[in-house]
């Protein structure tokens, strides 16, 4: 039996794929996310070269080379494509069977990636929605196969259930159909396929010198019917050079501008040029300070009577991609968030840089951590938001407008009570206490750990049927990830304060639920209130804990 000849080109390509899989696995998603940010900036008319440049670096480098070489990046440098090659190679060795897709079916299925791209653009990008953020199979891929880190399987299944399911199905399909994802589903591949139509580097094959073997077609990773053409103009070609190395007659050549070139030398030169430009670009931006490690709002220096936070500089931490810790410093001036800077992070740098510049800017603009995550860096974005929120929890919230409103209401009620002092207590309407309740309760969008109610004079004199015994009580309930323990204060027979002693839930979800639930419990004087959408389990845990505490207030 004749042994197959070992190809230097394919060995070199395999080594390059492994290196990029280890060192630069994020180039694929960086490029796709950068194109998205450019699209959003254009349609929203908020184009800023300084802000967008770090996010566009990968696209700025890869797309021009795609115009020259075609989908070269896909065949040599894409980590997700390399993963598909590894799976297919192992499957071929184990099962020793090659599944051949029918040409007509293959041609139709290749249009699916354009549907995926169109859906991404119009259903996700245009409305800048994060609804489908857990649907991404490459997010699951990044968490499961990162080199040097154990697969975070339980986290992925719990938080990226749909994305993990897609990733699993794609992996299985890739074992039987070479480059399954690249052929049929990759939205970035759809863009590259269109751009590749203009390429000047092409595979040439003189059919007059061909036999009937179809070895080139059988070895094509993308299923292109090479036996039908003399020049491969298809944008699907990923320049893997398998047809070049497989041809027994050496009839397949690689040409740039109609000139024969050595595939190995050309490929190595392109990889070196793209990698060099990528790192040079990052170094250049760092030197020029374009990475946006600090964002300042011009409005933050203005005096505002409605201060939200106490002035100072605060540090906080949050959990980013794969459980990595992000630590930030938040500066509050004149009661407003004025600066956010990164102290440390363990996320992949490209993801974090892209997320930080956008998220920190939006937090300052909105004066809130409830902002959109950056596509392609969702988990890094959430880590930044959580870190800022953690920092702000140390900045005592001082809402002067709320205090003014509270004092005004209390004074008005006191004056009203004094004016009616000559009337008997039985003549005081029972609903007179409601304005006090509504005014004193903290707004639901404040991230306070205590919500209290100051009882008015009329409240203490008009209530004759007390539900609870005065005192401070503790209770516990089951939240999303563990036990929630609260302290409930009862005064004059009414719930006046609910505060958190401890909670094992995710901080962001818990605080979103707590600020609303505790407020409603005090207002309605009941634990039977609506759960907060998106934080149902945390809400139920708080309600159970308060109910448990009140069971002791007989």
Give per-residue pLDDT as tens, 462-501: 333 457 889 899 999 887 666 899 999 999 889 999 999 9
pLDDT of residue 325: 85
Is pLDDT larger for residue 280 or for residue 432? 280
Is pLDDT larger for residue 46 or for residue 290? 46
Residue 351 reports pLDDT greater than 50: yes
Q: Cβ atoms within 10 A of the Cβ of 530, count?
A: 11
Q: Which two tokens stand for residue 69?
A: 């070489």
Residue 118: pLDDT band with limits 50, 70, 90: very high
End-to-end CA distance of the chain: 90
Distance, CA of 339 to CA of 347 (rounded, Å): 21
46-71 mean pLDDT? 87
pLDDT of residue 350: 64
Distance, CA of 540 to CA of 246 (rounded, Å): 64
Q: Which two tokens stand for residue 415?
A: 């004056």
Element (H, E) at 339: strand 336-345
115-132 mean pLDDT? 85
Lowest mean pLDDT among 364-378, 409-423, 519-533: 409-423
pLDDT tens digits, 382-431:
889 989 988 888 886 543 333 333 344 444 444 444 444 333 333 333 33
pLDDT of residue 394: 82
Sequence-distant contacts of 14-23: CB under 8 A, at least 24 apart? 16/76, 16/77, 16/271, 17/76, 17/77, 17/81, 17/82, 17/85, 18/82, 20/76, 20/77, 20/78, 20/79, 20/82, 21/79, 21/82, 21/83, 21/147, 22/147
Residue 322: pLDDT band with limits 50, 70, 90: low
262-274 mean pLDDT? 95
Percent of the chain with pLDDT over 90: 40
Question: What are the backbone angles phi and psi of residue 346, rounded to the nearest 5°?
Answer: -115, 10
Distance, CA of 529 to CA of 553 (rounded, Å): 19
Instruction: State the average pLDDT for the chain.
Output: 79
197-225 mean pLDDT? 93
Alpha-carbon Rg of the chain, whole angstroms?
Answer: 31
2-21 mean pLDDT? 85
Nearest CA-CA partner of 294 in 311, 313, 309: 313
Reduced to 3 states, what is the DSSP secondary structure of residue 136?
coil
DSSP secondary structure code for residue 398 in this structure: -
222 CA to centre of own chain: 31
329-352 mean pLDDT? 84
Q: Look up the pTM and report it.
A: 0.62
């Amino acid at each position: 039996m004749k042994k197959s000849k070992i190809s230097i080109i394919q060995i070199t390509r395999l080594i390059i794929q492994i290196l990029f899989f280890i060192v630069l696995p994020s180039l694929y998603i960086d490029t796709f996310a950068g194109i998205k940010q450019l699209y959003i900036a254009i349609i929203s008319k908020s184009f800023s070269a300084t802000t967008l440049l770090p996010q566009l670096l990968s696209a700025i480098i890869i797309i021009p080379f795609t115009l020259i070489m075609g989908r070269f990046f896909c065949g040599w440098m894409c980590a997700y494509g390399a993963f598909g090659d590894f799976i297919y190679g192992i499957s071929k060795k184990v099962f020793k069977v090659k599944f051949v897709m029918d040409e007509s079916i293959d041609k139709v299925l290749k249009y699916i990636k354009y549907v995926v791209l169109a859906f991404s653009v119009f259903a996700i990008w245009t409305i800048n929605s994060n609804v489908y953020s857990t649907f991404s199979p490459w997010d699951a891929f990044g968490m499961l196969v990162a080199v040097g880190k154990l697969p975070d399987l339980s986290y992925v299944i719990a938080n990226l259930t749909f994305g993990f399911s897609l990733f699993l199905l794609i992996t299985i399909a890739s074992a039987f159909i070479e480059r399954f994802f690249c052929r049929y589903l990759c939205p970035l591949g759809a863009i590259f396929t269109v751009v590749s139509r203009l390429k000047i580097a092409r595979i040439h094959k003189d059919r007059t010198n061909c036999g009937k073997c179809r070895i080139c077609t059988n070895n094509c990773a993308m299923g292109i019917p090479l036996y039908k053409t003399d020049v491969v103009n298809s944008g699907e070609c990923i320049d893997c050079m398998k047809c070049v190395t497989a041809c027994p007659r050496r009839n397949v050549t690689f040409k740039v501008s109609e000139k024969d070139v050595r595939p190995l030398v050309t490929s190595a030169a392109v990889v070196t040029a793209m990698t060099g430009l990528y790192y040079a670009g990052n170094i250049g931006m760092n030197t020029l300070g374009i990475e946006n490690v600090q964002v300042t709002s011009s409005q933050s220096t203005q005096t505002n009577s409605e201060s939200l936070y106490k002035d100072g500089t605060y540090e906080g931490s949050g959990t980013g991609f794969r459980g990595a810790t992000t630590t930030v410093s938040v500066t509050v001036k004149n009661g407003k968030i004025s600066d956010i800077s990164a102290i440390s992070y363990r996320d992949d740098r490209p993801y974090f840089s892209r997320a930080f510049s956008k998220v920190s800017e939006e937090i300052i603009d909105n004066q809130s951590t409830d902002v959109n995550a950056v596509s392609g860096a969702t988990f890094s974005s959430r880590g930044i938001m959580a870190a800022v929120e953690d920092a702000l929890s140390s900045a005592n919230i001082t809402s002067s407008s709320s205090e003014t409103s509270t004092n005004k209401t209390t004074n008005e009620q006191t004056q009203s009570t004094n004016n009616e002092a000559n009337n008997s207590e039985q003549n005081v309407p029972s609903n007179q206490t409601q304005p006090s309740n509504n005014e004193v309760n903290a707004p639901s969008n404040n991230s306070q750990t205590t919500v209290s109610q100051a009882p008015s004079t009329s409240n203490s004199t008009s209530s004759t049927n007390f539900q609870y015994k005065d005192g401070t009580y503790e209770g516990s309930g089951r939240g999303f990830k563990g036990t929630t323990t609260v302290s409930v204060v009862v005064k004059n027979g009414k719930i006046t304060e609910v505060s958190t002693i401890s909670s094992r839930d995710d901080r962001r979800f818990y605080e979103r639920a707590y600020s609303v639930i505790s407020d409603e419990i005090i207002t309605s004087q009941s634990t039977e209130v609506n759960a907060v959408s998106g934080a149902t389990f945390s809400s139920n845990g708080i309600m159970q804990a308060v109910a448990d505490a009140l069971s002791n207030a007989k």
